[in-house]
Structure 1
Amino acid sequence: MTATPTSAGPELLDERSIGGILVHLLGLVTGFLGPIVVYVVSDHEFTRTNARHVINWHVTVFALWIVTFVTFFLGADEITVGGEPTEVSLLPAPLDTVFAIVGILLLIVLMVAILLTFVYTIVATVKAIFGSIWAYPGSIEVVERYR
């Protein structure tokens, strides 16, 4: 029986790149800053698309963090400075309570988003290893296709 050579299929590194795989892990470490650099300097479509998805997710989480912080801060009616409570409420009494409750709910959503960041990074990295591109669910499309 003679062995016939089997075709290895398409060259995987022509379709995907190491940068397209590692950009997800880079995003986990650097947030959206590392993937922005990868997106700008890369000319490989697989890498740029994966970097775009990572940037979109991390910018979404960062925006959620800012909104949560501002809402929670506006809802705070006092803070402790040097062991002394100090009034810091910028809003009238009923509104500061509403903002505090919304801030707490946003804080819970932010914690879930941070947990999902780890899960999404693992899923997207595994998908990229096998050559497919995976958009992070729930991310806002901040970076559109350029070029």
Structure 2
Amino acid sequence: MQPPPLPPGLPPPAYLRPSGPSPDERTLGMLCHLLGIFTGFLGPLILWLVKKDSSPFVDHHGKEAVNFQISLFIITLCVSVVAVGLMIVWIGFLLLPLLLLIPLLALIFKILACASANRGEWHRYPMCLRLIP
């Protein structure tokens, strides 16, 4: 037995609405993280600014992607400054493997975030500054 038809202009009841993000929302959430691989913070920032009001799911993933890109920049900058400073006394070369490890870990975290967004999950990056709440 089907429920009676709704009067025009009323939204469907909660039990008839699909649960979770739509496929378009999941794709946009995944794209927020994927753009970070190729464009740094600029791609996720633009996508987040354009789509943040259309979906809470895209808003969340956009904020996470931008926050992670900013955190990644700050961490890389700090390690680079310390490495250059220590190269004066010839021990800064010990930090060069760390500078190579940072982008590799960032790529792994971004791929995991893409997969989570594609599954419709609300992903949070580990060790990330939440500058955009």
Query: What amino acid does structure 1 have at the position aligned with 2:126?
Result: P
Percentage of identical aligned residues = 25
**Among 7, 10, 29, the residue aligned to 2:19:** 10
Matched, 1:33 2:7: no
Q: What is the total number of aligned residue pairs between the two structures?
A: 116
Letter in 2 for 1:143: I
Superposition CA RMSD, Å: 2.6
Which is higher, the Rg of structure 1 or of structure 2?
1
Structure 1 segments, 4+ long, off by >6 Å, are none
1:11 and 1:51 map into 2 onto residues whose CA distance is: 17
1:12/1:66 CA distance change after superposition, 3 Å: closer
- Look up the equivalent residue of 1:116 and give its one-letter code: L
Equivalent residue for 2:120?
131
Instruction: Provide structure 1 residue ranges, at least 5 long, that are not aligned to the other structure.
Output: 1-6, 78-95
- Select the residue among 62, 74, 92 that pairs with 1:63: 74
| Deviation at residue 8 of structure 1 after TM alignment | 9.6
Q: What do residues 31-66 of structure 1 show as CA deviations (whole Å, max 9, x unaligned)?
A: 111111112121121111101111121111111221
Uncovered stretches (5+) of structure 2, i.e. residues with no partner: 1-15
Equivalent AA in structure 2 for residue 141 of structure 1: R
Q: Distance in 1 between matches of 2:63 and 2:25?
A: 15
Q: CA deviation at 1:119?
A: 1.2
Deviation at 1:11, TM superposition (A): 6.5
User: CA offset at residue 30 of structure 1?
Assistant: 0.7
* Cα distance between partner residues in 2 of 1:11 and 1:67: 39
Q: How far apart are residue 104 of structure 1 and its match?
A: 3.1
SS in 2 for 1:104: helix
Q: Could you tell me the TM-score, scaled by structure 2's length?
A: 0.72
Corresponding residue for 1:112?
Answer: 101
Aligned partners of 2:24, 2:44: CA distance in 1, in Å?
A: 19
Q: For 2:20 and 2:128, how far apart are their aligned partners in 1?
A: 31
Give the counterpart letter for 1:66 in structure 2.
L
